[in-house]
Structures are given as structure tokens and as C-alpha cells.
A and B are shown apart, each in its own frame.
Chain A
Amino acid sequence: MAERSLIEHWPDEQGHFGPYGGMYVSETLMHALEELSTAYARWRSDPEFMARLDADLASYVGRPSPVYFAERLTEKAGGARILLKREDLNHTGAHKINNTVGQGLLAQHMGKTRVIAETGAGQHGVATATVAARLDQRCVVYMGETDIHRQAINVFRMQLLGAEVRSVTAGSKTLKDALNEAMRDWVTNVDDTFYVIGTVAGPHPYPMLVRDFNAVVGREARRQVLEGWGRLPDALVACVGGGSNAIGLFHPFLDDAAVRMFGVEAAGRGLETGEHAASLCAGRPGVLHGCRSYLIDDDAGQIRHTHSVSAGLDYPGVGPEHAWLKDSGRARYVSVTDTEALAATHQLARLEGILPALESSHAVAYGMRLAADMAPDQIVLINLSGRGDKDVQTLAALEGLSL
């Protein structure tokens, strides 16, 4: 009997990945989620829909993104060969567009004329606004007041694309609060509105949907590494906030038992300080934003404020499939501090001429550490999930410069 494929196995009908996932939302949204599941099941098996998606990914997003051998970074790390999956070269500068192209198309096929999104760093907001402009959909993006200040460029980009950016002033004024507010909008406007969730969290079917739309990253990478290097990579490395770029890379490799997987969380100022965003490394299972997964809370079950230099990782939860991959041992989750991530940003810029997003720098930092302990004939594949243009002001501010 063939072994059961991990790729096809999860989630179950109710959206569970082992004990995680599910649909923890108010009754008003249950029908909308069922409707979305039904629509997705229909369109994903529709050859014309999938052909349109593939065409958009090729001619609009610019796929496939290359796999690049980072020779000088490899030398610097002094071990295994380091390959970079260049999601930073996608239209809008990150992997986020893979998902929004898919969900935007799905919204259009479901007859929804208005899309809403939450955003932290602004990358998902920009990617949603981009697709909404092209598909002539009204677009509202919720963003925490704190993030609006630290990602001013992306706010203006969204406005240039025709989206309305609504500032969220409740709670910690960051991504988690933007997500609450987007849910409230959705529950109020559920008839004409499609909620484009930007990560593999939230209620079922979102963790599956967002994973499937991002899995193009792993499918391409698997083929590219086999073709270019004649073998599979020994290790995959990706940063994890909600976890969409990581699951996109990992998922098509789940059945390749020899390929190790490392999800890199934000240790912020250090796990021991409590100022971090490492839900899997330092959190515990609970329920937030529609699903059961690991999260960061206090003893009363209140969600705690998190910290990371990278707004995109500054989130107290994580996708339920990662929780399952952690518990099952299939993937390992580690963490990298702000300081280490910033050092990796500078190294990649100076050695390879690539300025990575601060989120992706977490993966670069860990990937280099990992490669150092491996043999030169081995391969570490790092998902370079986004480019660093959006972080230039943050980087300058850290050096005491104002641009």
C-alpha cells in the first residue's frame, strides 16, 4: 500500500489540520465561508479558470520567478550552497501577489464587486489594491495606525492604486487589529464583499485557499532545483509571520521526506525579553481570528502585543497548518532576532546586490547559519519572499538618518 500523501491529506472537511484550524467565527459569517468553500471547490477544478490564473501569474506577476545561486553569500556562510527563490522579483515585490491574483479572480467569478483586506507591512494591501484595480473592484484596506506610520510609502502606493486605506486605532493598532476590523466590515457587508485574507490563518477555507495559491512557489522551486542542480534541496528556509510564503514553499515538498524544512519566526528583541512575535517557538495553542493554532497570549487568554522590526512578521498568531507541521515534526520552527535579521539585510545587499525585505532577512539569517553546518555539496533553498524597498525608511531611521 502506498504511503498516505501529506500533500493531499489536510485539511479535513471542517478545515482541520489535526487539532488545529477550523471555523471560529460568529454565526453571521458561517454561510459566507461555506459559500466560499463551495465556489473554490468549483473553480479550482474548472480548466478555464485555472488557465486564466496561470496566464495571469505568467504575464502579470512575472512567473516563474528564478532560483538564484548566491555564490558570494555561500562563500561567506562557508558550507552548503545557498539558493534564493526570487519572489522579490514578482510584480509588487513580494509573494503576496500570488494569493491576491487568485482570490481576486475568485471574487470576480463569485460576482463580488467589493474587496477588503487587512495589511501589516502593507505588502498584502498593495497586492490586493493592485489586483482590484485591474479587475475593477472597489477596494478597502484596513491597516493599524502604528503600521500606517511605519509603512507610509505602501499606504500611498495603495491610494495611487485607487484603494481606500482605513486606519485602525483599536487595541495595539497593528495587523491583528486590522484583521478584527476587516472581519467586522465583512460581517456587515457580506452580500457584496469578498474578504481577501493575506495569510494562511483565519477560518477555513482561507488557510487552504491561501496555501494553494502560494504553492506555485514550491512547485516551481522543486522543478527548478531538480533541473538546475540535478537533485532536491536538503533544506528549505522561509520566514513565518502568518506563514503564507513558508507554506507556499514547503507544501509541494511535504512528501519528499529527505527535504528538511525550517520556518523562521521573529525573535524581536529576544525570546527571553517577551518582546517578539514567535508564536510557534514561544506561544501555545489557542483560538484567534477564526482558527485554532499557536498564539501569544497571557494567562487570562488575552492576546499579547508582539514586537518585530519587520511589520509583516509582527503578528501574535500563525497559520494552523504550521502548527500541525510543528507538532508532527515535519517542519522545524526557529527564530531570529531583529539584530540578526538586520545584519543579514546588509550582508545580502553588499554581497549579492539584493536588498531583501526585513521579513525575508530573517530567513536569510537562519539560512546562512544552517548552511555553515552543512557540507559544500548540499543545498539550502531560502525563500526570498520580498524586496526591501519598502523598508528603506526603517533602515535609515535605525541609522539615525531621515530621508
Chain B
Amino acid sequence: MAPAEDTALDDSRRHLEIHNRVAEAFLTLAGDEVYGAVLDIVREVFESPLGIFGYIDEDGALVCPSLTRDVWQECAMAGKDYRFPPESWGQSLWGRAIRERRPLFTNEPCRVPAGHLPIRRVLCVPIVDQGESIGIVNVANRDRDYDDRDAAELWTICSHIAPVLNARLQRDRHEKHRRRAEAELLRARDELEQRVIERTAELSEANARLRQEIAERGRVEHALRAANRLLERLFSTTAVAIAYLDSRGCFIRVNRAFAEIAGLSPDYFPGRQYDEILGHDEIAAALAEAAATGRPAEAFGRPLEVRSAAGGDPVHCDWSIQPVLGAGGGVEGLVLTMRDVSRRLRAEALARRHQEELAHVSRLGVMGEMVSAIAHEVNQPLCAIVAFAQACRRLLGDRPDCPPEAREALEQIAGQARRAGDIVHHLREFSRRREPRRAAVSINDIVRSAVGFMAPVLHPRGLGVRLELAENLPPVSADQIQIEQVLVNLLRNAVEAMSDLPPEQRVPVVRTLLPQEGIVEVEVRDCGSGLSADGLERVFEPFFSTKPDGMGIGLPLSRSIVEAHGGRLWVVPNCDRGVSFHFTLPVHDADRPGD
């Protein structure tokens, strides 16, 4: 074999071996280790102590993982880096080699930055794949110069590396993208999880709120039900008769009290017209009117014709109609309330009759007492006239010189005066108080009734009466109206005697007691201005009064009444202020005639 052929064969064999070693490195080494391994092979092939094997990354920067090997330790540059962006390349030989996509070498020392290892000679070969520089391999500082053969050989090696590196770069890029995507995915997942956690928290919070709302709603419903029950109970048990009707006067619902007025069951009403059940009365007319106008109506103490009621006393009612207005202002329904006031009216009528009777008896009593007092007063001068006339007739009449006409006149004076006396006497008989209509009555009831009749006088002035009523008193034998009149007289006097006191002190006291067997005593005490010694003595005299407008009849009349009952009425001064009037009444005795 020729030496050239041998050399070529050797070269071929060498190239094959280098390719195998490089291919093996690419196949067996993962990550950046491959760059160091390949660079070691290349430095060994080209007997260079220094070298660089780098690739162009996506941003066009040169990345040299192989730098980290031995060069890196010896490099003293500040801010060491193994990633060089294109703008940092400058006019460096390797930068030109990359840009120009062809091998360049120099055997002159290169200008390098401070701290950089000195470069005596260098060979720079770009790795070009499909017309683009995708990396570079540099070898430097061989003991002998680099030449074109070296450049061509390294170019060949690099052109072998190019597709593998490209594939690797592609793969790395994909890997990187995949990792980034995975990271992205992971982050997205984390975010999602976070959001799920947040949403879950929000949901559970909403859930708790909902549960709370449900509980709240339950409570409200419970309260509503209770309120409803209360309303229902109120509606069904109130004494006020309530009916709800639609605007055509048709019953929707009525309560028990309403149904009772008509004497029917509440179930009978719904769906029926008012006048169908209760007749065409003024309420029916007022319902129609209220439905038409939307205005309420009411009336008091009206007689009610109840068609279906079962006889009995006439029913009187206070009634009122309240229209229920809808949102549009139209009448939606009518609330009719009625109150049966028959019993109240009857009680009022009774009380009025009682009061009228009391007033009548009072007037009669006062008149009788006045006539009696006038009779007594007039009687005295009449008595004197008669006596004078008769004395005259005695003194003159027997004398012979007395004219018969004079004697006759004196007889007439006496006769006419006696006639006047008879007239007074008859007048008195005529107006004499009726005999008390006695019955067994409770003195405490009489006192309460009398105080009740004083109410119209006392209450407007803010006055009251204190009652100290003994319990278990036996009934007295009395004419209730007359004794009430005595009490009213005494109470009125007591209040008037205290007129200069402030209202809260102007409280008369009525006391009842049983001072001894068979007698009940009533005391009416005031703390007024009291009576003088003369007043105490004369207070029961007719026409004697300490009041500026007093007639002086009340007390004499009261005394007459009490005495006609077989009791006594007297007055004693209190030890502190005012006076006390006392009167007694006999206890009722079923065996006594008249009792």
C-alpha cells in the first residue's frame, strides 16, 4: 500500500474513530456533560490544551457548558459567564466564525479581556446545520500553528456533530418546552387546586350561611306560626265581633262573636252576602257605601235587626267599617267590627234611673225640709198673732164700750192666723218625705254606690275618697236611696270644707264599723277648716250654713232621714283638723215589723 493511501486510510480510520467516539458521547451522555466529553475528544484530536464547545440558544446567545471543565478554574475574569449574548461577541474571531458560518483560525495571540487566559493561537469552527450556525467548537494554544487542514478536519467533525447537536438542541428545546408546559400545567393545577380550595371555603361558608338562614327562617316561621296562632286565638275569643267581607259585601270570614250575634255558626258565613244573613239594614247600606267610596264608617249604640237571631232582648251595637285598600287604591275588602253594647246600655239606663231617683228624692227631701223649716219659722209669728188677738179680745171684748165690729175683727184676726197655720200645716204634710222603704242592705254597698255617684264631682278635680270599710258587717235596715243621699250630702260637705287644700290632700275618709251589737256606724271625716263652737252647735239647724252659697238644708235633711231610720247623726271636731260626721243605723232584724 502507498503511503498516501495509507495516510488517507489512516485519516479515514481516524475520522471514523472520532465520529464513533463523538456519536457514542452523544448517545450515552445526557445533559451538558456531553459538551465536555465531545470537547475532550476534539482537544485530544487537535492536541490543544484549551477548547470551547458551545451552542446557540433560542435567543441567539452562545452557551458554552463545556467551559466549566478546566478552563473555568483558571479563568480570573470578573463576572464569569458561559452564556454570551450576540451583542457581547464584538469582533472576536469566534463571533465572526459564527456569523460568517465558516472556520477561522489565527496563530497570533488574541486580545482578550482582563483576567482571561492568554490565547496564543486559536481555531474557531462553527457548527452549521441547514445553513445556520447552531454552535461552535474552538480549540486554542496548541504548541504548533493551526492550519487549513486542521480547520477542514474540525469543520468535518463539526458537520457530523451538526445534525446530532441540532437534534439534541431540538430535543432539549422540546424538553424545555415540555418542562415549562408541565410547570405551567403544574402551576395551573396548583392554581386550580387553590381556587378549588377557595371555592370550597366559599361554598362551605355559603353553606353555613344557608344553614343559618334556614335555621333563622325556621325560627321566623315558628314565630310567625306562634303569632298566627295568637292572632287566631285573639280573633276567635275576642268579645268584639269581626267579619271580613269582599268588596261586594260577601262574607269571607267571621269570628265566633260575630256568628253569635246572628245566632249562627261561623262556618255558615263564608260565601254568603251580608244582607242574606243579617237583613238589609243600615250596615248593609254602609258596607255598599264603603266599598264604593273607600271611606270608613261607624255608628254607636244602634239597634240591630238580626233576622236569624232567636228572639230575646233587642241587640244594640257599636259598629265600624274599615275598607281594606289594595295596592292600586281600590277597595279589596271590608272589615266590619261590631260590639254588642246592649248590656252596657241597659246598665247605663239602670244607673241613670237610680241617679234620677236619687236626684228626685233629693229634691223632694230638700223641698220637704225647707217647707218644714219655713213652717216652723212662720208658725211662731202665727202663734204670736193668735195669742195677741185673743188677749186683745179678752182685754177689750168684755168692756161695754167695745164696738162689736172690733170684737168681731179680733176674732177674725185669730181665726185667719189659725187658718194660715192650717195651710202651712197641710203644705208640710203634703211635701212630707215619704216613709223610708226599708230593706236589708249592706252599708258598705251603699257607701260604694254613694262614692260612685260622687265620681262626676270628684274625678274632674282629681279627688278621691278613702274607704275604710269594716268587713263582715251585718246588713242594716235602710232605704238605700235615702242613705245614699245622706252620704252624698256629707261627702259633698267634706270636699267643700277642704277646698283650700291641694287636691292630693283633699281626701275625705269614709269608715264603717260596728260600735255595738245591733248598730252600724258610718263616719265621714274631713281635714278641712273645721267648725266654730257656734257652728258645731248649729250645723243641723235649717238655713244655717257656713258656705257662702249654702242653703242650710242638707244636714237637717240628712238628720231627719237618719232619725226616720231610727238612727242618730252627729258631728265631732277632729283632734287635728276638720270634723267628723257620724251616723248610726239599726242592724236589720227579720223579726221586726217593717224590716
Partners in one complex: no
Chain B residues within CB distance 8 Å of chain A:
none
Chain A residues within CB distance 8 Å of chain B:
none
